[in-house]
Amino acid sequence: MKIAGLDIGTTGCKCTVFDRNGNYLGKAYRDYPVRRTMGSHEIDVSAIMEGVYAVIREMAAQFPDIAGLGVTSFGETFVLTDGEGTPLHPAMLYTDPRGAEECRELKEKTGEKDIARITGLRPHEMYSISKLMWMKKHQPEIYKKAEHAFLMEDFVVFHLTGKAQIDYSLASRTMAFDICRLDWSDRILEAAGIDRELFSACVPTGSTAGEILPAAASKTGLSKQTQIVSVSHDQVAAAVGAGAFDARVAVDGAGTVECLTPIYEEMPDIDKMYEGYFSVVPYVFPGTYVAYAFSYTGGALMQWCVETFAGEKKRQAREQGISVNELLEREYQESHSEGLGGHTDGPSGMLVLPHFAGAATPYMDTGSKGAVLGLTTASTAADIYRGCMEGVTYEMYLNYQALAGSGIRFEKLNATGGGAHSSVWMQMKADVLNLTITALKTVDAGTVGSAMLTGVAAGMFRDLKEAAGLMVEETVTYKPRQEMHEKYMRVYERYRKVYDAVRPLM
């Protein structure tokens, strides 16, 4: 018997299969196009569904005894459909500029602080409700035809099972969900003028939707007895896949986006969270919550640096049989082996503001731009690469400081994603944050978390702790070095002034 995790992302979807002992068996991936213009950022959800069918079909052909399939997805993006689930329009992505005016209207009617206390979110046009308001105002003929408003998790679950249900964590990304009552907020929906009946039923994270429909079984190759599970928003699945089950452990998601996810065992201070634009999201255990503190450019900034400055280094790395990232890290250490008090990995002194795709928490300033300060004619690609690593880490520390007072009490981080395989970056994070960090083997914690929750729902595991014992594997633990922390803090005191200095100029 096997379990599978289906992860629906903005640009592609993947299906990963594990055996009953939590061993990885195989993965299939398909991408789909996103259309961006000056006035709209859209995606064809029919293409998403085609990709979903394709990846499941590929895995089912290899593993015909898949007993459970869990569905996790990115947030905010919604689509209005008819009663059969047929899309009535291209879906607006969270980055779509439409909905800003409607968000202002909702804030005026309800009050920003009240919206935050109900939904756990500081109002922003990225969330679904503002864009739903835009649809009703500007495309009323579509809104009138609609019988469902789906996010991607419940859109896929509906097509696989015929059941319209959405888990709490993804529902919260609409800014129309009451995180205390764990249901849609009548007050928000009334102020927005949006029909409650459009939304799927809210269910706990990891709830079974039932067996797959015969028609969907034919399209996917899955057994008609396969259980489909509504898992969660992708960041919640990643926290589960990182084995973070109580407030003592937070997650460092070191992927394309850098995301720090702490766990709260009671409702955090909403006013404090409001100040930093931090989301409060229901977690998998009753009465617990997570928050998202993130930078839009984590690994993405490293990739930009490599593609822009290290073309020749990629060739050298191939010849040496190592990654270009490892080569650049090594070159920096070799060229700075003197003058660092016995360490070859101290702060460069360069200041890189990693807002190359705008600023996320605690600013939520999409107009902010990146900056690289401290360049000289002697600066190398390795120096710039190192500066980018430090910039992302300082931004993470900035968020950590902004969360202080909200109720966080984690003592260590579990790190996932591609960045967790860099010993240099992991040690840097331990030194800057002055926290112990344990790197996990898995790159894709979201897929692992999805499979863990699916395995519990399908009866393969007794609970998440048993699943974690089989599927969450620690590799290396990095301890903070006080001497290095103090050196980084002297640079950080300059870094935290960069945003205020650069923003008025750009």
Q: Specify which residues 439 forms β-bridges with.
A: 415
What does the pLDDT read at residue 273? 95
Using N-to-C axis directions, what is the helix angle for 152-161 and 45-62, rounded to 10°? 60
The closest alpha carbon to 204, from 124, 291, 282, belongs to 282
Tell me: pLDDT of 419 over 50.
yes
pLDDT digits (tens, 9 = 90+) for 13-27: 999 999 999 999 999
> CA dist 225 to 68, 166, 171, 228, 481, Å?
9, 21, 27, 9, 53
Q: For strand 289-295 and strand 371-373, is the pairing parallel, antiparallel, or unpaired?
A: unpaired
Q: What is the mean pLDDT of residues 154-158?
A: 98
Query: Which amino acid would we find at residue 130?
Result: S
Cα 137 to chain centroid distance, Å, stands at: 30
What does the pLDDT read at residue 38? 66
Tell me: pLDDT of 340 over 90.
no
> CA 122, 127, 128, 130 torsion: positive or negative?
positive
pLDDT digits (tens, 9 = 90+) for 269-281: 999 999 999 999 9
Per-residue confidence at 343, pLDDT binned at 50, 70, 90? low
CA-to-CA distance for 177 and 120, rounded, in angstroms? 9
User: pTM above 0.85?
Assistant: yes
Tell me: cis bond preceding 362? Omega within 30 of 0 counts.
yes
Q: What is the mean pLDDT of residues 289-307?
A: 94
The closest alpha carbon to 415, from 295, 253, 257, belongs to 253
What does the pLDDT read at residue 179? 97
What does the pLDDT read at residue 366? 82
Q: Specify which residues 416 forms β-bridges with.
A: 253
- What secondary structure does DSSP assign to 374-397, as a single string? ---TT--HHHHHHHHHHHHHHHHH
CB of 451 closer than 8 Å to CB of 222: no
Q: What is the mean pLDDT of the chain?
A: 94
What does the pLDDT read at residue 396? 97
What does the pLDDT read at residue 338? 55
CB of 209 closer than 8 Å to CB of 49: no
Buried b (16+ CB within 10 A) or exposed e, 287-302: ebbbbbbbbbbbbbbb
pLDDT digits (tens, 9 = 90+) for 49-72: 999 999 999 999 999 999 999 999
Tell me: pLDDT of 174 over 80.
yes
CA-to-CA distance for 207 and 458, rounded, in angstroms? 10
Tell me: pLDDT of 352 over 90.
yes
CA-to-CA distance for 163 and 152, rounded, in angstroms? 14
Q: What is the mean pLDDT of residues 161-183?
A: 98
pLDDT digits (tens, 9 = 90+) for 218-268: 999 999 999 999 999 999 999 999 999 999 999 999 888 899 999 999 999
Tell me: pLDDT of 341 over 60.
no
Least confident of 158-162, 187-191, 319-323: 319-323
Q: Give the count of beta carbons closer than 10 Å to the beta carbon of residue 217.
A: 17
Q: Specify which residues 359 forms β-bridges with.
A: 365
